[in-house]
Structure 1
Amino acid sequence: MKLYVIAVCCLFTFCRTEEAKLNFLSEKINNFTLELLFFSNSSSNGANLVISPVTVWTSLIVLEVGATGDIQRQIGRAIRVASSSFRKGNLTSDFNAFIKNHEIQSPHLDLQKVSGIFIDKNRLPEMDFFQEALKYKTTFIPLDVLDPVKIKNDLKKLQAHFNTLKLINDDDLHLENDMMLPYSALYYKGLWTYHFDTHFTTKKPFYDDNGNKIGEVDMMYNRHTFSNVNIDILQAHAVELPFANDNKLSMMVFLPYAGVSLHDAFKNFAKTSFSEVFDEFQQTVSATESPKEILVVMPKIRTKSRINLRNTLENMGVYDLFDTERYISLPKMAKRPIYVKKFIHKVEIDLNEEGVTKSEAMNSVIGTRVGGLTFIANRPFVYFVVEKITKTIMFCGFYVVPT
């Protein structure tokens, strides 16, 4: 009996340790995500925006590992990981546990992602550092920066070998001598658990924060018992739309209350954390005795974002990395100083009516029922695709103009 108790206690301790590793990085990545989204939106000139924070965070981790001094401290503050985490050896094991939990494989989604660093072939990193970068799922890709034709040919070969690199095109690779280009990208297309009915998709007006019509967009309709609550601290109504992947991924859409701008609603995250909002959402839903159907009306989301994150990262305090007055030294990465001019981030998402489960009465329910709860996203909103076990934001975006 005593041995049984000891075994149970050891198992509990192990589980708590693994959970702590996941939560450790999830909280840091989510805090980084909210700041990254805020400053990226400030530079987007009012366009729709989508970002993949985990791929950006991963690339920055590798740069922090290769840096020293002020550059290392600036990156560490931005991504919420101090250099002491590397010295103690904790981060690698935590990261491996985190990534393993996020390697989602499902016939119901198309998820492609890449985190890499293109570099002048004459500035290849030290072998020890190359191996260190691989621990963080980041690859160095050497290019002949003096030969644009060869860059195109090399890229085609890479695209044929690595499916994810189809997210990269040669227009992104205007490299200069002695230059390094961090690059992250993600493509996502997921199937809903409960699909939107294509028969009811129609052009409808889309409004700005002040209620002015700014265009029309294809609006999708779906009536189901979706989890939905009012999050007063954010001044927003939230709804959760699950993806068909064993309840591991879902989209959370936050629509500001009437009269509240998206900018003001999003700034309210400064008063709380995403994890706390997620927990409040789930607790409120669990406390609801009888879930009610809600009619969700929202645009198709087909967004492509290509962003140079330089301005965003400088606003987050990472400025020495992009100092145009001097070459930077990343002594753990390369013996010779190198130049970083831009940090390219590309994301493409395609979310339409498709799903894998359909109620036989779906058409008649949407067509004939009047009244009840509604969630009509016909004005600017923010959305997050969340890995629910760790509450990690996989990607997120602002939808502000009809497309």
Structure 2
Amino acid sequence: MRCSVFVCCAILLSTCNSQLTEVKQMLNNTSLHTGLSEKIGNFSIELLYHTTQAQDKIANLIISPITVWTILAVIAEGADEQTLAQLNRALRLTPRLKDETQKEYQEIVKWLQVKTTTVELQKLNSMFMDEQNTPQRDFVEAARGYDTHLISVNFSDPNVTANSINNLVSSVTHGRISQLVDSSNIADSKLILTSVLYFKAQWTVSFNSSLTTKQPFSDSTGKQLGEVNMMYRRHTYPFANIVTLQARVLEVAYGKDNRLSMLIMLPNPGVSLNEMFYNFGNVSLDTIFDELKVSVEQYGEDEIDCFIPRFKIESSLQLNDALKRMGIVDLFDERKARLPLMSYLPVHVSQIIHKAEIEVTEEGTVASAASAAEFSNRISSVIRFEANRPFCYLIIEKVTNSIVFGGVTFFWSVC
């Protein structure tokens, strides 16, 4: 008899007003930007692209790629044969470097726990296992290497198990995501992996709500789709036109030390989001930040007229199709899945769900090919950055260059 493994993630971004006192010395140290962090970043961009493509209809979305990477990395510790090979390819993992990968992950994850007066970032990975089906000891130890904790529950009572999981998720997300699973998700499962991420921060420089106005929002060809409440601020934001990306990039910082920030990537007029995502294969996050740094050094006193929508997005995603597009196929096939190191019973992954919400307001967020940068029209004039057409946004933890959240927008209605 085969049983299914049910995998789920939950993330939340919300608004906060406070002050931050965070250590700054690591922000100039790029030692954590390469190796595993770079691999996770590449996975994150690919996942965001394929999740967008796998939707039944075009829709705005928010996702936390690093929570998905973490869960799949834990599953890979229990996998074998083609199931393992497919996971390793998608996750950019090298089997012979397992111990090194876990050590690198532990270095990264310690920076994903922030609790200050203006920024809070909390992450919790858990593995709910049927108390009648104890997992293999080596797998439990490997899961701990990815900061994932084992919780024993009684799967014979789906309601109790669902409540246990939902209570944990609700606690981490401060009650904002109260139901990640229900009893129907539990019925045929023997193992449930969860990864929960909570983010709450204030902009370093807030927007003035009295300057928010209704403005048109168009598609990449210029056709108007609707209206949006457009926030406005004139400030010396880091800004660059990344030629290889075919997009303009603006960085909006959180807190007092620029530890986390939102990158808003606006494709050039006539360039679609799909084209911009394709160009990411030739542009690294370090390259983007380097170009933004150059912009600050050369044009640090130039002001930017920044227009970005005030928005709220809620996503309830089923990631099976997106991951299959990334080559992870056997994991979801009851006949082909090979997870012998995970459980004594034959198991496969039935579905991976991801629930998230983000709210961006005037106060903050609720919830190597060569590249060239262009800084045209930055002499004696104010640059206008207007996110009034489809764009991509990434929330970055800058010590590790981790994409903790990412999303795309296609259309808006006034909110």
TM range (shorter): 0.7 to 0.9
Q: How far apart, CA to CA, are the structure 1 residues paired with 2:152 and 2:176?
A: 17
Is 1:350 the equivalent of 2:362? no
One-letter amino acid of the counterpart of residue 36, structure 1: L
Number of aligned positions between the proteins? 369
Residues 181 and 344 of structure 1 are in contact (CA less than 8 Å); yes or no, is this contact kept in structure 2? no
| 1:285-341 CA-partner distances (Å, limit 9, x unpaired) | 32x1553111101111322222111111111111111014x2733222211111311
Higher RCO (CA < 8 A, seq sep 6+): 2
1:209 to 217, 220, 237: 220
1:314 to 305, 324, 333: 324
Identity rate, percent: 36
Provide closer, same or farther for how the CA distance between residues 172 and 220 of structure 1 changes in structure 2, counting only shifts above 3 A: farther
Is 1:243 the equivalent of 2:254? yes
Q: How far apart, CA to CA, are the structure 1 residues paired with 2:170 and 2:303?
A: 47
Q: How far apart, CA to CA, are the structure 2 residues paired with 1:160 and 1:50?
A: 18
Superposed displacement of residue 161, structure 1: 6.4
1:55 to 49, 55, 67: 67
Superposed displacement of residue 350, structure 1: 2.0
Is 1:261 the equivalent of 2:272? yes
Provide closer, same or farther for how the CA distance between residues 401 and 180 of structure 1 changes in structure 2, counting only shifts above 3 A: farther
Residues 180 and 340 of structure 1 are in contact (CA less than 8 Å); yes or no, is this contact kept in structure 2? no
Q: How far apart, CA to CA, are the structure 2 residues paired with 1:170 and 1:290?
A: 44
One-letter amino acid of the counterpart of residue 137, structure 2: M
Provide closer, same or farther for how the CA distance between residues 22 and 99 of structure 1 changes in structure 2, counting only shifts above 3 A: farther
Q: How far apart, CA to CA, are the structure 2 residues paired with 1:226 and 1:192?
A: 12
One-letter amino acid of the counterpart of residue 338, structure 2: S
Residues 394 and 407 of structure 2 are in contact (CA less than 8 Å); yes or no, is this contact kept in structure 1? yes
Higher strand proportion, which one?
A: 2
Residues 73 and 82 of structure 1 are in contact (CA less than 8 Å); yes or no, is this contact kept in structure 2? no
The alignment partner of 1:193 has SS state of coil
Higher helix proportion, which one?
A: 1
Which structure would you say has the larger Rg?
1
Is 1:252 the equivalent of 2:279? no
**Structure 2 stretches lacking a partner, 5+ long:** 1-25, 366-380
One-letter amino acid of the counterpart of residue 346, structure 1: K
Residues 231 and 281 of structure 1 are in contact (CA less than 8 Å); yes or no, is this contact kept in structure 2? no
Residues 237 and 254 of structure 1 are in contact (CA less than 8 Å); yes or no, is this contact kept in structure 2? yes
Q: Which moved more, 1:154-163 or 1:131-140?
A: 154-163
Superposed displacement of residue 149, structure 1: 2.9
Superposed displacement of residue 165, structure 1: 8.4
The alignment partner of 2:97 has SS state of helix
Is 1:100 the equivalent of 2:99? no
Is 1:372 the equivalent of 2:382? yes
One-letter amino acid of the counterpart of residue 138, structure 1: T
Residues 186 and 347 of structure 1 are in contact (CA less than 8 Å); yes or no, is this contact kept in structure 2? no
Q: How far apart, CA to CA, are the structure 2 residues paired with 1:376 and 1:159?
A: 36
Aligned residue for 2:142? 132
The alignment partner of 1:75 has SS state of helix
Is 1:299 the equivalent of 2:309? yes
Superposed displacement of residue 21, structure 1: 5.3
One-letter amino acid of the counterpart of residue 115, structure 2: Q
The alignment partner of 1:218 has SS state of strand
Provide closer, same or farther for how the CA distance between residues 291 and 204 of structure 1 changes in structure 2, counting only shifts above 3 A: same
Give me the TM-score of the superposition, normalised by structure 2: 0.81
Provide closer, same or farther for how the CA distance between residues 391 and 162 of structure 1 changes in structure 2, counting only shifts above 3 A: closer
Residues 113 and 164 of structure 1 are in contact (CA less than 8 Å); yes or no, is this contact kept in structure 2? no
Superposed displacement of residue 260, structure 1: 1.4
Residues 55 and 114 of structure 1 are in contact (CA less than 8 Å); yes or no, is this contact kept in structure 2? no
Aligned residue for 2:372? none
Superposed displacement of residue 81, structure 1: 0.9
Give me the TM-score of the superposition, normalised by structure 1: 0.83
Is 1:66 the equivalent of 2:78? yes
Q: Which moved more, 1:392-401 or 1:175-184?
A: 175-184
| 1:250-304 CA-partner distances (Å, limit 9, x unpaired) | 1111111112122212211123333323323323432x15531111011113222
